[in-house]
Amino acid sequence: MGKYHSLTIFKYENPTGDIEKEYKNRFESPTVIKTNLRINTEIKGEIKGKSYLLFLLPINEVLKLESTIQENSRRIIDIMNSLPEIALDQFFNNTLVNEIVSTNEIEGVKTLNKEVVDAISNSDSSKKIRLKSFARMYKKIRNHENPEIKKLSDIRKIYNFLLEGEIPDDKLPDGKLFRNKSVRIGTDFSTVHKPKDNEDEISEDLNEWILFINSNDISPIFKVFIAHYFFENIHPFNDGNGRVGRYIACVYLGRKLDFLSAITFSNEINKNKKAYYNSFKEVTSPNNFGEITFFVLKMMEILASGQKDIISSMENKKRMLDFLAQFLKNEDQYDSLTKTLLFFYFQSFLFNHFDSGIEDRYIKKITKDYHWTDVRAKLDHLSDEKILKITKKSPLTRKITNEYIEKICK
């Protein structure tokens, strides 16, 4: 059997072939996954020809990738279970910084790493900090405190919480819940997509989307990516669609995979932006007839690539942490408390590229076996010795110094 191609390529390779017949063969295949999600076909943003229901054929490449993604997730969970608490917390925060910066960067929204670090560390505080709500929403994926999407207002609630303070007033939804005016997607010179332009039609499509995303009759991974495509195709808001759509995709991935796989999606897309956007355009081509197989395949490739990076990074950091743990074990000059504290700071140093340190109040919480006066005195001593340094006065926060790490790694 020859290689399975998109219908667009089939038409190119078979100019005299019957593409309608090939479409019907695929759409009526015994293994086809049909959806209730209907799209218009477009060329440069102009509707051309008929509308089609999205469908997917679970070809070998798709099934193999599904298995790979699930196996990667099991491997990630195994590594997570082998890590100490601080190491895992710091790696999660590091991954989350990359994810939030990336999902904004994809949309051309400038975000500094430091802004996201501050938002994550203050996500549960009453301080008014940019992206605080954004960080809080993503942190819920780890705790499986996932928002349920059962009705249209649930989508608007996600939009309100996720993008609090991020959308200019003139770009907020002008309808009851969603956009109620015409928009176009593209550059100043060309249009890529022209979504429906009134709230009634948008709401009708979103109701179908809600039915689909809450169904249980197809693979959860396939469902996430089909739903992601359709949400972006609807484009229900004037601004913020990509960020909301990718967040929802992360939420649903986090229900079936580990939370690190879920929150690396945007970061990996940011490395593959051209392929990401091209995959969207290909689905709406008139010669594609609503087939979404290759869009799902590309999204799965992007996800699997992100998982591979997570596994490699965690394994490397775990090896380095084991080395430092052995160093502490062999170091006779340090007492038990010093070794315990240094091991905490080693974890923070290794597992978070944006390491801003550990708050003293957190150290107090995890050193209940020692008197806090002794712990505080030891922290001050390590700071005086230039082994630790204070990175923030309020709340008091410290990190291991680069000089000390370089010294012990010589």
Q: What is the pLDDT of residues 228-271, one digit of tens each?
A: 999 999 999 999 999 999 999 999 999 999 999 999 999 999 99
> What was the pLDDT predicted at 188?
53
Contact residues for 225 (Cβ-Cβ < 8 A; gap 6+): 249, 295, 296, 299, 300
Active-site annotation holder among 235, 353, 371, 381 = 235
> What was the pLDDT predicted at 123?
83
SS3 395: coil
Residues 315-340 have pLDDT tens digits of: 999 999 999 999 999 999 999 999 99
Bridge partners (DSSP) of residue 392 are 397
Residues 118-145 have pLDDT tens digits of: 899 888 878 888 999 989 999 999 988 8
- In the chain, CATH 1.10.10.10 sits at 321-409
Residues 32-91 have pLDDT tens digits of: 999 999 999 887 667 766 899 999 999 999 999 999 999 999 999 999 999 999 999 999
Crossing angle of helices 132-142 and 85-106, rounded to 10°? 130
239 a known binding residue?
yes
SS3 168: coil
241 a known binding residue?
yes
> What was the pLDDT predicted at 189?
53
> What was the pLDDT predicted at 14?
85
45 a known binding residue?
no
Strand order in the sheet with 388-392: 358-359, 397-400, 388-392
Looking at every residue in the chain, the average pLDDT score rounds to 92
User: Across residues 346-369, what is the average pLDDT?
Assistant: 92
- In the chain, CATH 1.10.3290.10 sits at 35-311
CA gap 328, 322 in Å, rounded: 10
Of the candidate CATH numbers 3.40.440.10, 2.60.40.420, 3.40.50.300, 1.10.10.10, the domain formed by 321-409 belongs to 1.10.10.10
> What was the pLDDT predicted at 13?
85
- For domain 35-311, give the CATH number: 1.10.3290.10
Length of the chain: 410
245 a known binding residue?
yes
Contact residues for 122 (Cβ-Cβ < 8 A; gap 6+): 129, 132
SS3 220: helix
User: Across residues 103-128, what is the average pLDDT?
Assistant: 88
Percent of the chain's residues with pLDDT above 70: 97
CB atoms within 10 A of CB 359: 17
Contact residues for 315 (Cβ-Cβ < 8 A; gap 6+): 79
> What was the pLDDT predicted at 182?
83
108 a known binding residue?
no
**Residue 297 is which amino acid?**
L
Cis bond before residue 395 (omega within 30° of 0): yes
CA gap 57, 168 in Å, rounded: 41
Bigger pLDDT: 355 or 161?
161
109 a known binding residue?
no
> What was the pLDDT predicted at 1?
47
CB atoms within 10 A of CB 16: 4
Q: Residue 96 phi/psi, 5° resolution?
A: -70, -40
> What was the pLDDT predicted at 162?
94
251 a known binding residue?
no
**371 among known catalytic residues:** no
122 a known binding residue?
no
Percent of the chain's residues with pLDDT above 90: 73
